[in-house]
Amino acid sequence: IKKVYDICPILERSTKYNIKGTLELPYYDTSTTTISVAYKDEFSALTSSSGTFNSITLTGYLAGALTKISRSLINNSQFDIVAFVVDEMAYAIKRFIENELLNGTPGNPPTTPSKVLGLYGLTNYITAAAQTAVTADEVVQLHDRIKDEFQENAIWIMSPATRTALRLLKATTGYYLLNDDVSSPFGTTLLGKPVYVSDNMPNMAAGKNAIFYGDFRGLATKFNEELSIEVLREKYADEHAVGVIGWFEFDSKVEDAQKIAKLVMASA
């Protein structure tokens, strides 16, 4: 019997690149300057205007895990304990990657990554009026931060406690915003979109990113080295043990902030 955690499909839904070395992803920035269109008279010259090209850089951060298993335990077990530990390591690594994609490891200043930045650097957000509660109006505002073009594949991600709080929210018509839907992957929808929960998501508290919404293909994830798990039978023979080791190298940043938005709780 093992402890089960709620895991969301953020890794599966992100845009993945299996490329070694450094990856530069260009993007067209129109936040300060863009192409302008205006009426002009004949023989009057047009003035050049355009946005600027910038880029995000994905490198690679190495991570790993090691577990030693007693040979006596293996010999006296009625089931394949080595296979169980291999599965558990893969599960733990998946939770680690999910946490990094959702919360990141910010540096100083925070927008500079110490390791993987993930969604931490997301600039598309709204701020809740309260520190520990969300209103129905704020949920609608967060939903509408995403343009209609990106709504088709949009999902919600939040903690189990936040989902419970949203179950109690009602629209002005008196209907609950979060509805049971057997056709949805996890049985609930919010404003018509699937709701996923993760134990790696923070609960509603001062300054926390409580809810993400959008099309998570806007998050870029790059693997320099895919996950590999090996069983070491000889290395720990002098300890009468077997080792299970896993290595992988990855990086992640927001590729397109138009596709994803977050709700940030009010600061203390």
- Non-local CB neighbours of 6 within 8 Å, separated by 6+ positions: 160, 197, 198, 199
pLDDT in tens, the chain (268 residues): 666 777 899 999 999 999 888 999 887 776 677 888 888 888 888 887 777 778 889 999 999 999 999 999 999 888 899 999 999 999 999 999 999 999 998 877 766 668 999 999 899 999 999 999 999 899 999 999 999 999 999 999 999 999 999 988 876 666 777 776 656 666 688 888 999 999 999 999 999 999 999 999 999 999 999 889 999 999 999 999 999 999 999 999 999 999 999 999 999 7
Residue 12 is predicted with a pLDDT of 93
Residue 117 is predicted with a pLDDT of 92
CA distance 211 to 261: 8
Residue 253 is predicted with a pLDDT of 94
Residue 185 is predicted with a pLDDT of 61
Which has the closest alpha carbon to 195: 151, 159, 220? 159
* DSSP-based three-state secondary structure for 73: helix
Residue 260 is predicted with a pLDDT of 97
Question: Which residue in this structure is represented by tokens 């406690």?
Answer: 161
Rounded to whole angstroms, the maximal C-alpha distance in the chain is: 92
- Please give the DSSP secondary-structure letter assigned to residue 20: S
Residue 173 is predicted with a pLDDT of 64
101 neighbors 11 (Cβ within 8 angstroms): yes
